[in-house]
Amino acid sequence: MFAEHVVAEIIEPVPHRRVVFTIPRVLRGLFQRERRLLGLLVRPARDAIVPSVRAILDRHEATPGLVVSIQTFGSYAANFHPHVHALLTDGAFTEEGEFLQLPYFDARLVEEVFRRRVLQRLHRAERLSEEFLNSLLGWAHSGFSVHGEQTVSTEDLKGAERLARYLTRGPMPLDVVEKVEGGRLRVRTPPDPLDLIHALTTQIPDSGQHMVRYYGWYSNRSRGARAAVGARPAGPPPHPPPNPTQSRANWARMLKRIFEVDPLLCPACGSAMKIVSVIREHNVIDAILRHLAKTGRRDPFEGRAPPAA
């Protein structure tokens, strides 16, 4: 699970901020036609944030940590809307590992740097002419935007995990899913099934394309260097690693997060269940299924709604 991995193994126990970078509609078709260009959005986001954080703190050697994700969908995957989400430390670390918290976040400054970096990279990649580049730079309303108001405190691990989970969320929002009679779920889709298929397949990344990247204090190199010397920032202890027993039951924790029901608890008495044995013999399995069918009990492989809370 990506979000659990990020909270337990990547981020430090410091405040974090979610920053969202969007681009103007006039450029979206370019990225849809050439998916490899999506990588050009990530480094400009990093180049916009890091100098801005250092300038606000007036500490040009300080390093923030970033987990950056590329998303290509807007509402219900109905349109191709490439943008960048970043989970950013709400401050930066000194070379000694001290964390300096930001007194404020300057979204307008970050937006202007991001805009210029993206356009310059597209121009160097020969995807924007000199004339069109200058035209976009002259727009009073550029179409670029940066939002970074949402923050979570050091102690809010669930909030940090929620932000991390949003970085890799699916293209279908929860408000199109509703519970109907019998505990089943109904998903609202476009009238034409081909429209739905096209909308969803458009969001599939190219083979080998990295949609999540780590920069600054959270880069692989930085984390590897600290691990090699056993260094960690001054301040609260790191987030506790996942319990080994829990790690072996990832499937159960996933179901619990989705359905808010613990599948390892007995629905009758509420006690914790444990594996008594594993049946692998086909003839024994067939005999059990025949017995269930004969006694009128539900086929265990029949589709059904999630258990009631």
Structure tokens at 264: 């390892």
**Best CA proximity match to 111, nearest among 82, 91, 88, 141:** 141
Higher per-residue confidence, 255 vs 308: 255
Rounded to whole angstroms, how far apart are CA atoms 195 and 299?
35
- In the prediction, which pLDDT does 77 show? 66
Q: b/e map of 145-183 (b: 16 or more CB within 10 Å)?
A: bbebeebbebeebebbbebbbbbeeebbeeeeeeeeeee
Q: What is the pLDDT of residue 14?
A: 96
pLDDT above 90 covers a percentage of the chain that reads: 49
The encoded tokens of residue 279 equal 């049946």
pLDDT tens-digit map of 290-303: 888 888 765 555 55
Burial class of residue 58 in the structure, from the number of CB atoms within 10 Å of its CB (0-12 exposed, 13-18 middle, 19+ buried): exposed
- What is the reported pLDDT for 306? 54
Predicted confidence at residue 246, as pLDDT, reads 52
CA 131-42-233 angle, to 5 degrees, is 140
Please determine, for residue 23, whether its predicted confidence score (pLDDT) is greater than 60: yes
Confidence (pTM): 0.76
CA distances from 26 to 29, 31, 84, 139, 248 (A): 7, 10, 17, 12, 48
What's the pLDDT tens digit per position in 121-140?
Answer: 999 999 999 999 999 998 88
Q: What is the pLDDT of residue 308?
A: 56
Average pLDDT, the chain: 85
Over the stretch 98-115, which tens digit does the pLDDT of each residue have?
999 999 999 999 999 999
**Residue-level pLDDT at 26:** 93
Q: List residues bridging with 242 in a β-sheet.
A: none
In this prediction, residues 46-54 reach a mean pLDDT of 96
Tell me: pLDDT of 305 over 60.
no
Q: What is the pLDDT of residues 247-284, one digit of tens each?
A: 445 667 766 766 667 878 887 788 888 888 889 999 99
Task: Give the end-to-end CA distance of the chain in Å, rounded to a whole number.
Answer: 23
Residue 304 is predicted with a pLDDT of 53
pLDDT of residue 116: 95
Give the mean pLDDT of 23-40.
92
pLDDT band at 241 (very low <50, low <70, confident <90, very high): low
pLDDT in tens, 57-79: 999 999 999 999 999 987 666 67
Contact 63, 91 (CB under 8 A): no
pLDDT category at 229 given cuts 50, 70, 90 is confident
User: How much is the pLDDT for 227?
Assistant: 86
